[in-house]
Amino acid sequence: MIIEESLSANGKKIYYRFIWGRGSSDRMSAGIFTYAHPKSQVEKNHNKEVLAMLELKRSQLILDRQSIGMGYIPAHRYKQNFLDFFEEVFTNNIRTGKRHLHISFNHFKNIQEKTANSGEVTEELCLR
């Protein structure tokens, strides 16, 4: 996987993206920038922290790619509590006029509170 740098139009920032192939779907913006010419200590510290985050993000993407089809879930993808995971899914996928994820989350949460379950999702719980 390659990390590509591109200079902004005004030349003040450097933006990054991940490339692991030649197709358009094989490129992903990192959503991270560094200062091209840091002027203060704050900007220098920002650059150091961002480069560390960029390397972490790169390693997580490599783990995701390598675990496809193996049944292995990388630690950064694994959520201990299913309700936390479900809540994150429906907040990230909010669409106007679509309430089915929110309603199903509330229903699932109510069922789990009644059974006083510790967050384990079993087939029996899902059937309820």
Q: Is the pTM of this model over 0.75?
A: no
Work out the pLDDT band at 40, boundaries 50, 70, 90: very high
CA angle 17, 23, 28 (to 5 degrees): 20
- Kindly report which listed range (6-15, 43-52, 75-84, 113-122) carries the lowest average pLDDT score: 113-122
pLDDT, one tens digit per residue, over 92-116 is: 777 777 777 778 888 877 877 776 6
**Structure confidence at residue 118 as a pLDDT band (50, 70, 90):** low
15 band by pLDDT with thresholds 50, 70 and 90: very high
CA 2 – CA 126 distance, rounded (Å): 42
Contact at 8 Å (CB) between 16 and 33? yes
Q: What percent of the chain has pLDDT over 90?
A: 29
Q: Which two tokens stand for residue 1?
A: 């996987």
Burial 4-31 (b: 16+ CB within 10 A, else e): eeeeeeeeeebebebeeeeeeeeeeebe
Q: Taking Cα atoms as reference points, which of 13, 14, 18 lies closest to residue 55? A: 18
